[in-house]
Amino acid sequence: MTTEDMRALAKTLRAARAWAVALSAQKVIDALASDSTIVVTPIAGMPVSCIDIKALGAKASSDGTFLMADITATGVLGCEALRLGAHAAVCELLPALSVVGVSRNAERCAPGVGERIQAVASAHAPGDSAPNIMELIAAAGTSWRQRSDSAQVVASYLRCHPQVARVAYPGLKGDDSFSVAARTLQSGFGPVVDWLRAHGDTWHRVVCDASDPRKQVMALEQQLSRR
């Protein structure tokens, strides 16, 4: 990547410095994490909920721990983890291609972290034939918005269904993590919807895609019609 490309990547990540690395996100995390590192993902768990990165970032800075956010699930444009207070953010764009950025105060909690990332990035630099990073980020952002739109429809449908006892989706008002999600996520609340059948005790999950949400609703209707 050129110096101009790196600056554009840093600006998009809201980072002081940013790199592209020819590794999976997990391998980047493994290479950088220490005993004082806390790794979080913005949306996690079952039933699904949104993590309060802003609160965790403030606590980590106070405690002197290093907060790293894996934003692969949301994409770079779905969660500005560094703006919210994470010290580092990593996002896997392809199975062996990730981007990573650090905040301006990252060195306070993890001295030398910039040099460690530089070493990893230098040892695993993307080749000249690697896809355009900014194009991948933009495509992932479009997919995030489209899948989030579908999930919003599906979650609203499930919440009104007589065979459904409970729905977990950060984009529904009244959801336990709605207020956190509203200030943490951008351009949608993600594709994951969890639901609990009436008189049941097992959570079910649907991961929505970018297709017509009406077809996804109909598939769920058929599932719910089966006793």
How far, in Å, CA of 166 to CA of 70, rounded? 28
Residue bearing tokens 């062996």:
96
* Token pair listed for 176: 């336990």
* Token pair listed for 112: 């030398």
* Token pair listed for 78: 């779905």
Q: Please give the pLDDT value at position 191.
A: 98
Residues 6 or more apart in contact with residue 44 via CB below 8 angstroms? 51
pLDDT digits (tens, 9 = 90+) for 84-137: 999 999 999 999 999 999 999 999 989 999 999 999 999 999 988 889 999 999
Omega before 95 within 30 of 0, i.e. cis: no
Residues of the chain above pLDDT 90, percent: 87
Q: Which residues pair with 116 in a beta bridge?
A: none
Map out the domains of the chain with their CATH numbers. Answer: 3-135 (3.40.640.10), 143-225 (3.90.1150.10)
In angstroms, what CA-CA distances link 180 with 48, 80, 114, 139, 185? Answer: 13, 13, 29, 25, 8
Residues 6 or more apart in contact with residue 187 via CB below 8 angstroms? 77, 78, 141, 144, 145, 148
pLDDT band at residue 227 using 50, 70 and 90 as cut-offs = low
Q: Please give the pLDDT value at position 164.
A: 95
pTM: 0.93
The alpha helices in 160-197, defined as continuous H runs, are: 178-184
Contact 170, 50 (CB under 8 A): yes
How far, in Å, CA of 44 to CA of 86, rounded? 16
Rg (CA), the chain: 19
Q: Which residues pair with 102 in a beta bridge?
A: 17, 88
Higher pLDDT, 3 or 152: 152
